[in-house]
Amino acid sequence: MQEKSSSFSIKNWSQDDQPREKLLYKGKAALSDAELVAILIGSGNRQESAVDLCKRILANTDNNLSALGKLSIKQLTEFKGIGEAKAITIIAALELGRRRRGEEALEKKKITSSSSVFELMQPVIGELQHEEFWIIYLNNSNKVIRKNQLSKGGITGTLVDVRLVLKNALEVGAVGLILVHNHPSGGLKPSEADKQITQKLKTAAQSLDIKVLDHLIITEKAYFSFADESLL
Residue 3 has pLDDT above 50, yes or no: no
- Alpha-carbon span 77 to 67, nearest angstrom: 16
Cα distance between residue 185 and residue 169, in whole Å: 30
pLDDT category at 9 given cuts 50, 70, 90 is low
pLDDT tens by residue, 95-117: 888 888 766 655 547 899 999 99
pTM above 0.85, yes or no: no
Is pLDDT at 2 greater than 50 in this prediction?
A: no
The mean pLDDT of 153-163, rounded to a whole number, is: 70
Residue 16 pLDDT: 45
Lowest mean pLDDT among 28-32, 82-86, 211-215: 28-32
CA distance 110 to 183: 25
Please report the pLDDT score of residue 78 as a whole number: 94
What tens digit of pLDDT does each residue of 128-145 get? 889 999 999 999 999 998
What is residue 80's predicted lDDT score, i.e. its pLDDT?
93
Determine if residue 20 is left, alpha or beta; phi over 0 gives left, psi from -120 to 50 gives alpha, anything else beta. alpha
User: How large is the average pLDDT for residues 138-159?
Assistant: 81
- CB of 147 closer than 8 Å to CB of 134: yes
